[in-house]
């Protein structure tokens, strides 16, 4: 099947339309359609997402999956807490806080619980933000299922993106043998809308001028 390709300006327009459609989907209680921008390095995939978020007045948060080493950095983790009490003052503290609590006069109540701890990036996300999961195809395979869960349900360990109405965009390099990327199976590809970006000199120059790119970089891009 022939792929439909888009220049950067066309990609911007398509993204804007899908984000607007997703707003309607979420308003009705549905899960937004995840987007994946596919293209070679340097096309401006990340820049377009950041620019669009700014133009729409939305928050923007970028998480580079290729730089993460532990799944907990993406999904969070469970923490064991212990109940301590000093008179009527009852608190839950983590294990490393037990010695300090004891020094302050608190006594261990022989009760414990497991609590979810969301990663920092979730806490920092603002309502209606765009979440960019950058370099998805270069990330550790351990993250693949977690990303699919986020796309399908927008929930993870004790937290969710539904209440914040966050939309997810991924970026990936082509799986054409030219890049060190992980291949995706049909189940993964079917769960997101793919936008294949291509280079176009005039289009790129217009966008570069719009964002105020250094003229020296403009020249080097054309002659290099």
Residues 194 and 128 in one domain: yes
Both 25 and 107 in one domain: the answer is: no
Q: Please, what's the b/e burial string for 102-139 (b: 16 or more CB within 10 A of its CB; e: otherwise)? A: eeeebeeeeeeeeeebbbeebeebeebbbbbbbbbbbb
HSE toward the beta carbon, residue 69, CA cutoff 13 A = 0
Same domain for 130 and 105? no
Query: Which of 166, 165, 174 lies closest to 195 in space, CA to CA?
Result: 174
Is the domain of 190 the same as that of 131? yes
Query: Domain containing 38: what range?
Result: 5-68+124-223
Q: Where are the alpha helices (DSSP H) in 125-214?
A: 144-153, 186-189, 201-210
Per-residue pLDDT tens, the chain, 224 aa: give them: 446 789 988 999 999 999 999 999 999 999 999 999 999 888 889 989 999 999 999 999 999 888 888 888 888 888 899 999 999 999 999 889 999 999 999 999 889 998 888 888 888 889 999 999 998 887 777 788 888 888 888 888 888 898 899 999 999 888 776 666 666 666 677 778 899 998 877 777 776 677 666 555 444 444 44
Structurally, the chain folds into a number of domains equal to 2
Whether residues 20 and 97 share a domain: the answer is no
Q: How far apart are CA 134 and CA 62, in angstroms?
A: 7
**Residue 161 is part of a domain; what is its CATH number?**
3.40.50.300
Strand partners for 94: 81
Strands 77-86 and 107-117: antiparallel
157 with 51, same domain? yes
**Do 154 and 60 reside in the same domain of the chain?**
yes
Q: What is the DSSP string of 58-93?
A: --EEEEEGGG--STHHHH-EEEEEEEEEETTEEEEE
> In this structure, what DSSP letter does residue 119 have?
-
Whole-model pTM above 0.85?
no
């Amino acid at each position: 099947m022939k792929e439909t390709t888009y220049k950067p300006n066309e990609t911007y327009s398509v993204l804007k339309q899908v984000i607007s459609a997703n707003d309607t989907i979420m308003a009705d209680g549905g899960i937004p359609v995840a987007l994946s921008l596919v293209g070679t390095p340097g096309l401006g995939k990340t820049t377009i997402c950041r620019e669009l978020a700014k133009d729409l007045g939305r928050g923007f948060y970028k998480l580079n999956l290729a730089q993460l080493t532990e799944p907990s950095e993406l999904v969070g983790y469970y923490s064991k807490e212990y109940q301590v009490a000093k008179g009527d003052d009852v608190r839950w503290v983590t294990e490393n806080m037990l010695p300090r609590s004891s020094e302050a006069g608190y006594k261990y109540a022989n009760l414990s619980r497991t609590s979810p701890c969301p990663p920092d990036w979730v806490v920092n996300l603002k309502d209606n933000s765009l979440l960019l999961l950058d370099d998805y195809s270069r990330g550790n395979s351990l993250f693949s299922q977690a990303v699919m869960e986020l796309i399908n349900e927008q929930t993870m360990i004790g937290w969710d993106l539904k209440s914040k109405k966050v939309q997810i965009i991924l970026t990936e390099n082509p799986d054409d043998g030219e890049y060190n990327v992980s291949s995706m199976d049909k189940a993964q590809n079917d769960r997101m809308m793919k936008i294949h970006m291509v280079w176009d000199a005039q289009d790129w120059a217009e966008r570069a001028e719009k964002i105020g790119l250094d003229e020296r970089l403009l020249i080097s891009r054309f002659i290099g």
